[in-house]
Amino acid sequence: MKKTLRTLSILLSVSMLLASAGCKKSEETSKKSKKTKKDSEVTETEDPEELSESTTEETTTEESTEESTEETTELQTNADGLYRTTLETPGENVSVSFELDVDQDGLNSCRVETLGEGALINSSIPGYIGSAFTATGNGRIGLCKITFEISSSVLSKAGPDFQPTIYALNEDTMTWYEFVTTVEDGKASALSTYLGTFILLDKTAFDAAKANAAAVDLSSDPETDSNNDGLSDYVTQLICDGTIRTSTGTLVFGDASFEDVQANDDFDNDGIKNGEEFTLITSVKVPSDAVEFEGRFYRIYDMGFRWDDVESLCESGGGHLLTVTSEEEWEFVKGLLQNGTKKCYWLGANDVETEGTFLWVTGEPFEFTDWAAGEPNNDGAEDYLEIETWNEYRWNDGEVDGDFGQFSQDNHGFICEWESSETGVSVYVQVNG
């Protein structure tokens, strides 16, 4: 039986699902129930009531500025034998909670920490609403609901275009990728099975800043460097007005004006010229562990996300969600998936625009296919293409956040694909050292 798809309205039409739904069809339920995950069993070596509560502690990207509160642990188990626990902590303008399914190791180790301001994560990020948080934990971690509660002072000043959205940090590229977020009663929520660093930003302001950076034309730079600091006056002006920022969106020179920076060749008086501290980046290399095939590069991620979340993550690294356009490429991908651990993997295509007409995210012709028998059948709201590794690697149309049980979101992995070893990105500053 399918889970009910519950969609909540979000400002400016941003929405997400609050419950997991569909990777396979109801007639295959009995087949699924016979497939068990090796790590789904909980070792009963101690009484759950005697487990210590996990605690949060103060940290920062450089140094903590706020102390976390102690989390609450509710010792309730689900059908997979995982415990339900809630981690909570306050921050600037927001507080956060992580509702997780974890095993016993997770109960003892999971924690959430408030990040203080550092060079790459601070209040100068476009659309900044409040503190960023890092959640960590050992053991098996199941579906997690992340909720940011926004302070009344922020909400009272919000304009009509205010669009609070949860972003996670892509640690490969040190950029933010957007999570499908639902907002209700001053709370923004998203679903994940991956712990990391998260922040709540106003999507309207953040997207506008990204678009501004993408429009930078360095070819028009006259390359005049009047203060001999290793940065052209043209680039310095773009940095000071916030057009060019760090990879995470923070201001390079803080609130300093162009005149302040141009006053000498060493703005922060640390003995290093400005141009030696910062490097302009206009392209990034793909991850070193990506695998090459016919000039393109591929990397498996065994992390459970919704389809639209993983497409956002791949794009944040300059790539896109996997597309397969030939039998030769498909044979290569199937070989790559031998190293994967998930039961399903997302492909970069959907038929959201026109039911039954699947389109690749890259715009390439959707010609080569390898559908499972009887697929696609749109059983429910199945608009997103996935690979079923347990079903001879055949293709299926699934729901945006997977299915429930053993075929849920946390059992979906994905593959990012890059068209070359380097990919163009918006101009940004890399902080050296």
Domain ranges of the chain: 36-208, 216-285, 291-422
Which of 29-43, 84-98, 234-248, 404-418 is least confident?
29-43
CA 410 to mean position of chain CA atoms: 14
The angle at the Cα of 337, spanning 171 to 285, to the nearest 5 degrees, equals 35
User: Residue 187 and residue 10: Cα distance in Å, rounded?
Assistant: 11
Fold of 36-208: Chondroitinase Ac; Chain A, domain 3 (2.60.220)
For residue 293, list its beta bridge partners: 296
- pLDDT by residue (tens digit) across 250-264? 999 999 999 999 999
In the structure encoding, which two tokens stand for residue 289, read together?
Answer: 């562990």
pLDDT at 31: 35
- pLDDT by residue (tens digit) across 386-428? 999 999 999 999 888 776 555 567 789 999 999 999 988 888 9
Q: Which residues make Cβ contacts (< 8 Å) with residue 203, sequence separation at least 6?
A: 12, 14, 127, 163, 164, 165, 178
Q: What is the mean pLDDT of residues 19-42?
A: 34
**How big is the chain, counted in residues?**
433
pLDDT at 405: 53
Tell me which of 88 and 4 has the higher pLDDT: 88
- pLDDT by residue (tens digit) across 164-188? 999 999 998 899 999 999 999 999 9
Q: Percentage of the chain with pLDDT > 90? A: 63
- Top CATH class, 291-422: alpha beta
Tell me which of 56 and 184 has the higher pLDDT: 184
User: Residue 5 and residue 263: Cα distance in Å, rounded?
Assistant: 59
Residue 320 has pLDDT above 70, yes or no: yes
3-state secondary structure the chain: CCCCCCECCCHHHCCCECCCCCCCCHHHHHHHHCCCCHHHCCCCCCCHHHCCCCCCCCCCCCCCCCCCCCCEEEEEECCCCCEEEEEEEECCCEEEEEEEEECHHHHHHCEEEECCCCCCCCCCCCCECCCCEEEECCCCEEEEEEEEEECHHHHHHCCCCCCEEEEEEECCCCEEEECCCEEECCEEEEEECCCCEEEEEEHHHHHHHHHHHHCCCHHHCCCCCCCCCCCCHHHHHHHHCCCCCECCCCCCCCCCCHHHHHCCCCCCCCCCCHHHHEEEEEEEECCCCCEEECCEEEEEECCCCCHHHHHHHHHHCCCEECCCCCHHHHHHHHHHHHHCCCCEEEEEEECCCCCCCCEECCCCCCCCCCECCCCCCCCCCCCEEEEEHHHCCEEEEECCCCCCHHHCHHHEEEEEEECCCEEEEEEEEEECC
- Give the global pTM: 0.78
Residue 50 has pLDDT above 90, yes or no: no
Residue 46 has pLDDT above 90, yes or no: no
- pLDDT by residue (tens digit) across 272-300? 999 998 889 988 899 999 999 999 999 99
Mean confidence (pLDDT) of the chain: 82
pLDDT band of residue 382 (cuts 50, 70, 90) is confident
Residue 132 has pLDDT above 80, yes or no: yes
One-letter amino acid at 205 equals: A
Q: What is the mean pLDDT of residues 52-67?
A: 38
Q: Are 383 and 351 in contact (CB under 8 A)?
A: yes
Q: What is the mean pLDDT of residues 13-42?
A: 33
Q: Percentage of the chain with pLDDT > 70? A: 79
Residue 11 has pLDDT above 90, yes or no: no
pLDDT band of residue 106 (cuts 50, 70, 90) is confident
pLDDT at 91: 97
Residue 21 has pLDDT above 60, yes or no: no
Which of 42-46, 116-120, 144-148, 383-387 is least confident?
42-46
